[in-house]
Chains A and B, each alone.
Chain A
Amino acid sequence: MNQGPAAQAIEATKVYGEGTAEVRALDGITLDIERGRFTAIMGPSGSGKSTLLHCLAGLDDLTSGSIRIGDVDIGTLDDDDLTRLRRDRIGFVFQAFNLVPTLNAEENITLPIAIAGRKPEKEWLNVVVSTLQLGDRLSHRPSQLSGGQQQRVAAARALITRPDLIFADEPSGNLDSRSGNQLLEFLREAVDQFGQTIVMVTHDANAAAVADRIVFLADGQVIDEMTSPTAPSILDRLKHLES
């Protein structure tokens, strides 16, 4: 397996609008996402953290600079190749509305594999399902699941393809604290047990505390980093950064 970074942003710049209305959402960010680690991206609203996540995931394109997933420069891919890359090598957990309402939990979990026209590996599916404690919910439709269960199904879907990278955008943002913590623990477990690489955008210090490394953004630039964070140390750093 390639031992380089799972993903890289090189001089990544994203500009919206023109002239006086110009907004530099990303302003020349260079960043490595290390393999097998849990990276959190924090920053105030408008700092560019979501834009960075979207660009890293190939959902949005850069104005200049490049994004590499493994050794592929995703700026060179057409829509079909990019779609395939997302399908096979990237997993997503969004803040809300993560599931297809007409499919049951199991079908939602195996959706990327089904889209590819393949069969899920039974054993891996069992591992993922039991890790996320969804065994008794597999035949339920999203509308019959609680918010926490829905997000766990989304996490299971992200894991099912054993992607190089999972991107999570405020995954616990819509959940009560107990369900939120439970979900974050599962994500942590995925990194520790399966060697999964996860990038998570959050503004919640408690959530960020499960990460191995935190990247702080402001005005489209990386302004700070910390490793092995705890919730109090993060809050401290945030206070410091805002002043």
Chain B
Amino acid sequence: MWRAAWKGLIGHRLRFALTALSIALGVGLVAASYMFTDSLGRAFEDLFSASLSGFDVQVRGEVDEELSFVQGAPLPQSLIDEVAQVPGVTAATGTVFGFVQASVGEEPLGNGSAPTFVVSWPELVDLFEIQSGERPDAPGEAALDPSTSQRQGIDLGDEIVAIGVSTRETFEIVGTAAIEGFESFGGAVSIYVPLETAQALLDLPEQVLTIEVESTGEVEAMIARIERILPEGVEAVSAQSAAEEQLASFKEALGFLNTFLLVFAGVTVFVAAFLIQNTFRIIVAQRTQELATLRLVGASRRQVLRQVMIEAAVVGGAASVLGIGFGVLLARLIRQLLSLGGSLPATPLALQPRTVLVALATGLGITLLSALLPARAASRIPPIAALRRVQAPESSQTQRRRAVVGLALTGLGAVLLTIGLIGSDLPVPDVTVVGIGAGSTFIGVAIVLSAIARPITAFIGAPIRRLGVPGRLAVDNAGRIPRRTAATASALMVGLALVGLTLVLADSLKATADRLIGDRFEADLVVSPAGFGASRLSPQLAVDLASLNEIEVLAAVRDGQVQFEGETRNAIGGPTDVLAELVNFNVLAGRIEDISGNRVGLREGLGEGREIGDEITIEFARTGEQTFELAAVFEASGLVGGILIDDVAFAANFTEQLDSQIFVGLAGGLDLAAGKTAVESIVATYTGAQVLDQSELADEASSQIDGLVRLVFGLLGVAVVIAVIGITNTLSLSVLERTREIGLLRAVGMNRRQLRRAISLESILIASLGGLLGMGLGLTFAWAVIEAIDAEFLRLSIPWGQVGLALAGAAVAGLLAALIPAWRASRRNILTAIAYE
């Protein structure tokens, strides 16, 4: 059987080539997802452990594990000496670090996507390595990370300006420094200055955030010994566990990214499955006589089945290996696209055994699974078929049965989708339920389509049919083998459904953002850090702005993360009485103005089931668990979210006191442009800050959504490419089957152009069928998603122009898919075509 299978493969190598390509693309995406996130994870693992490698024990304010990345309570500087006295401690040094705004000349420091930090240079313990120049010892001296120095052309001797909590200082660059073996801390700008200078910039006089300890003793014993002298609320941890804590939260984000990428890999593989199944079915149909002859000379059903499955295994295996190679290239590409301007550390891509196994299993599995039904069909070919030319057409009973099965699957899919979207208590994640639901819906619709493809192609092909004989032939041929047309169109349907879903969700989100900003944003201007990254504004900016006559009111808000009911949430702090004037909170209960001190506000989702006056507990990194009283419940707005506390409570519970946004209300009667100019004149003296009015804020929101849409489309692109390959494959095989018919058409006077047109129109029709169905499903899914989210503020908005464009795109894809088959058909010798068996 191996020999027959091998001959079968060689004999049909061209027909298998495109199938193999589609499997390879899908497998490539799977491999690339893992490789990308693995290497990213490895890079940060290296970075975190290197950053905590110069010492053995860290002393810090006691902090909940979940909040370890938020600054805890500062320690008195005097504690350093006390720790140094502990027997076994060879050296102890204190460190402070925090966000600053910094510039060189007029230009802000940084790449716009990662934050800028000031870090105190450790006096006794070697945490960092000087890579050029010397260490910053004296006031006014600073070392910079080599990556920033290189990117922005900053040489030793140049001057930079850093703006801290309340001061602004000029530094001379005396050296470059970084964690040993690295160029930067994940793309962030690091400015190393002497401890006292850093304390002044960060407004932490005589205080440190952590104490790094070098010791001779065994780490656990040292921790115990050090803890004995520590005051309450201060803890000692090993460098290793500190690194692990930081990694844990990072890995969670990485896991999300991996899932995100794998979802698209899954979609791609799913689409490829349609193509694989279709190709095997067509090849089996074309080899009916060959397979029947095998049966005639004594091969059993099992042997025929096995032959086809062996062929599938070889194709799937070879394609998977190819796909892993392709994945390496793709992972590089993804890294490039997601590198955010170089803020991700460059580490070699890690191809772990797990990745190879998963990729191989995916490629082989999907190929075997997809080939199973065609192989079963092959095994049912009766020996007598060897002596017959014509295959019996499908009975209408088969079609009816198929329609019933398809409808049932579609229904099941819809139910699962609903359950998954609403959220369930099933032991599987909701995302999985949604995925299975969507998959089942797609397969169900594809099966229904295979029963009704003929009338449907006739219906949507009505305008094409009017285009003379080529049009007429195109429509008839598209409906000729309904199952084949259905499978081909379905692959594109899946792609277009997800394109449609993305388009509608993005448009709905944009419309919502527009409306929310319109409804809720009562301020004239908002000042915020420019670019992405967790940057902050110096509180001094708000102080300076307050002196402007053009400004009537202003509210500087801060945010920080807290633990609330087991989840990490964002807490916003600000002058609530002023904030209530500048933001329309749509209060559902209580009053925003009542939020002060230990009285807080909650967003509707968080405040559900509570009443004004209820007691709630919030856990802070600095102060631990604190009890508050609920004063207001407000609607989600996208402007101010989560938990709202007043500025006094914020100052008491957080170490970092920097602003994240400043809402500005201009003096009455003042022209917006004039007001903005005035505000900008102050903001310009603070680097890395921007001033936006209402419409610019909306634009920024929609450009962020657009960025995400582009990423999603890039990832969906692979699936769409596979669907187009599928059309090409089906057409090539169909055209081959119709060789004699085509020869005849040419003989009786059809010219090459007309023939090409007939094939192109058939392709366009199949693609449009997939496009229309997909778009229909996509819009339905989008509606379901928005209904399921059931948020008052999110409303369905359909971008009809883009939907039309996507449909036109599907038709054009059909045209492109037909190029090669049509060209080859038109070039065939008429005589050999007519004589073709």
- Measured CB to CB, the residues of A under 8 A from B are 54, 57, 59-60, 79-80, 83-84, 86-88, 91-92, 94, 97-103, 107, 111-112, 114-117, 143, 157
Contacts and interface: CB of A to CB of B under 8 A. Distances in A.
Nearest to A99: B744
A84 B741 CA distance: 18
A86 B744 contact: no
- Which of B745, B748, B750 gathers the greatest number of chain A CB atoms within 10 Å? B748
B749 A103 contact: no
Contacts, number: 70
B557 interface: no
B751 interface: yes
B749 A87 contact: yes
A59 B747 contact: yes
A102 B473 contact: yes
Contacts of A117: 468
Contact of A115 (B390, B477, B748): B748
Given A79-B752, A88-B749, A97-B741, 17 more contacts: A54-B831, A80-B751, A83-B749, A83-B750, A86-B748, A87-B749, A92-B747, A94-B744, A99-B744, A100-B745, A103-B472, A103-B473, A103-B476, A112-B748, A115-B750, A143-B390, A157-B748
B830 interface: yes
Nearest to A101: B741
B751 A59 contact: no
B761 to A, nearest CB: 14
Contacts of B754: 115
B467 to A, nearest CB: 10
Contacts of B741: 97, 100-101
A84 B831 contact: no
B469 A115 contact: yes
Contact of B744 (A83, A98, A114): A98
A221 to B, nearest CB: 22
A69 to B, nearest CB: 14
B745 A83 contact: no
Nearest to A57: B747
Given A59-B747, A59-B831, A100 B473 contact: yes
Report the 8 A-B pairs with minimum CB-CB distance, sorted nearest first: A87-B749, A102-B476, A83-B751, A114-B469, A112-B749, A115-B469, A112-B748, A115-B750
A83 B744 CA distance: 12
B722 to A, nearest CB: 29
B282 interface: no
A237 B201 CA distance: 118
8 contacts: A60-B831, A83-B750, A84-B749, A87-B751, A98-B744, A101-B741, A115-B748, A115-B749
B476 A111 contact: no
A32 B468 CA distance: 37
Contact of B749 (A54, A101, A116, A143): A116
Contacts of A92: 747-748
Nearest to A80: B751
B746 interface: yes
Contacts of B752: 79-80, 83
Q: Is the interface of B mostly helix, strand, loop or mixed?
A: helix
B834 interface: yes
B831 A86 contact: no
Contacts of B745: 100, 111, 115
A77 B746 CA distance: 16
Interface in B218-250: none
A147 to B, nearest CB: 13
A101 B476 CA distance: 10
A108 to B, nearest CB: 9
B745 to A, nearest CB: 7
Contacts of A57: 747
Nearest to A103: B476
A201 to B, nearest CB: 13
Contacts of B476: 102-103
- Which of A102, A112, A117, A143 gathers the greatest number of chain B CB atoms within 10 Å? A102
A86 B468 contact: no
B740 interface: yes
Contact of A102 (B468, B477, B744, B831): B477
Contacts of B469: 111, 114-115
B743 to A, nearest CB: 9
B400 interface: no
A92 B753 CA distance: 21
B691 to A, nearest CB: 66
Contacts of B831: 54, 59-60
Contacts of B390: 143
B594 to A, nearest CB: 77
Interface in B732-772: 740-741, 744-754
B824 interface: no
Nearest to B750: A115
A84 B740 CA distance: 20
Nearest to A107: B472
Contacts of A60: 831
Contacts of B466: none
A242 B790 CA distance: 92
Nearest to B741: A100
A84 B748 contact: no
Nearest to A85: B749
Given A80-B751, A83-B751, A111-B469, A97 B477 contact: no
A196 B466 CA distance: 33
Nearest to A50: B831
- Which of B468, B480, B751, B753 gathers the greatest number of chain A CB atoms within 10 Å? B751
Contacts of B750: 83, 87, 115
Contacts of A91: 748
A60 B743 CA distance: 13
A57 to B, nearest CB: 8
B746 A83 contact: yes
A227 B489 CA distance: 60
Contacts of A94: 744, 747, 834
A49 to B, nearest CB: 14
Contacts of B468: 114-115, 117
A57 B830 CA distance: 11
Nearest to A94: B834
A111 B751 contact: no
